[in-house]
């Protein structure tokens, strides 16, 4: 079967590294997640990853504690760097070559983000992990995912979630929620469906970048998607 998507950007929320804990990183869970990523890597897909930080710190939480928003957001960006290193460690334990590129310079632990270098790494078969979000406060790592995907000319942005895709209402609250297989960017925005923030969505829309929303907890889903199989929901 031919590959449908050859260069992908995978957006993982920080919570994806948390497993069943309610904070931080579960190494066992991260290792399982990396098996899924390696599976797709071994087929020859070029993979870039944007990792969130919500399992450690979110800007919004900081403002509730009384911190200045920008300061809190920088703390959130630092949280994504920790997650990026955990992910790098787990992937390299499986012999997958990786590079962490940070939007905020931290030369001792990550390369600075340079678009052309990121593309070069992908071409050389390295998984690139983008850390520190966009490097600017007031943004999210979903927006970072859309931005980096456009910059590296990814064929698809994959948004990993805990549920099977996009529903007409919250499937955690409503058992009769319906899974929407395909939906337009504007419908997601107008119906205020919880997929990604609007900044991320409009960036994808303007760049005609499709978004696959899928359940990362189901083994084999990632592989199915790169082969164009009908998994989860697609926004285009």
List the x/- string, 114-153, binding to ligand UDP by CB under 6 A: -------------------xx-xx-xxxx-x---------
Task: Identify which of residues 3 and 109 has a Cβ nearer to ligand UDP in the complex.
Answer: 109
Task: Identify which of residues 6 and 197 has a Cβ nearer to ligand UDP in the complex.
Answer: 197
Q: What is the size of the binding site for ligand UDP (CB under 6 A)? A: 22
Cβ neighbours, 10 Å, residue 145: 32
Contact in structure between 72 and 102 (CB atoms under 8 Å):
no
Is 136 labelled as part of a ligand binding site?
A: yes
Cβ neighbours, 10 Å, residue 228: 13
Q: Which residues on neighbouring strands pair with residue 10, listed in sequence order?
A: 49, 158
Q: Got the DSSP string for 50-101?
A: EE--TTT--HHHHHHTT--HHHHHHHHHHHHHHHHHHHHHHHHHTT--EEEE
Is 170 labelled as part of a ligand binding site?
A: yes
Residue nearest to ligand UDP (CB): 52
Contact pick of 36, 58, 81, 183 for ligand UDP (by CB under 6 A): 58
> Which tokens go with 111?
């390369």
Task: Identify which of residues 77 and 122 has a Cβ nearer to ligand UDP in the complex.
Answer: 77
Task: Identify which of residues 131 and 188 has a Cβ nearer to ligand UDP in the complex.
Answer: 131
Calculate ∠ Cα 2-130-24, nearest 5°. Answer: 110
| 13 forms part of the interface with ligand UDP (CB under 6 A) | yes
Which residue from 144, 152, 212, 131 is spatially nearest to 7, judged by alpha carbons?
A: 152
Rounded CA-CA distance 214/126 in Å is 24
* Least separation in angstroms between CB 183 and ligand UDP: 21
Annotated binding site: 11-14, 53-54, 58, 73, 134-141, 161, 167, 170
Please give the residue ranges that form the binding site for ligand UDP (CB under 6 A).
Answer: 13-15, 52-54, 58-59, 73, 76-77, 79-80, 133-134, 136-137, 139-142, 144
Annotated binding site for UMP: 53, 73, 134-141
């Amino acid at each position: 079967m031919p590959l449908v998507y050859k260069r992908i950007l995978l957006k993982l929320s920080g919570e994806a590294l948390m497993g069943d804990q309610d904070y931080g990183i579960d190494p066992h869970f991260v290792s399982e997640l990396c098996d899924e990523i390696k599976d797709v890597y071994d087929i020859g897909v070029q993979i870039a990853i944007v990792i969130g930080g919500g399992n450690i710190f979110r800007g919004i939480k900081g403002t509730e504690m009384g911190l200045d928003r920008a300061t809190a957001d920088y703390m959130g960006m630092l949280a994504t760097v920790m997650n990026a290193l955990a992910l790098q460690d787990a992937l390299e334990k499986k012999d997958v070559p990786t590079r962490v590129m940070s939007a905020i310079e931290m030369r001792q632990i990550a390369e600075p983000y340079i678009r052309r270098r990121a593309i070069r790494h992908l071409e050389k078969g390295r998984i690139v992990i983008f850390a520190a979000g966009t490097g600017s406060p007031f943004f999210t790592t979903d927006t970072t995912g859309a931005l980096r995907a456009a910059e590296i000319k990814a064929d698809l942005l994959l948004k990993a979630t805990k549920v099977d895709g996009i529903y007409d209402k919250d499937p955690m609250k409503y058992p009769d929620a319906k899974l929407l297989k395909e939906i337009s960017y504007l419908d997601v925005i107008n119906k205020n469906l919880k997929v990604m923030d609007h900044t991320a969505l409009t960036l994808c829309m303007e760049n005609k970048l499709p978004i696959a929303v899928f359940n990362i907890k189901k083994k084999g889903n990632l592989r199915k998607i790169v082969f164009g199989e009908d998994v989860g929901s697609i926004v285009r």
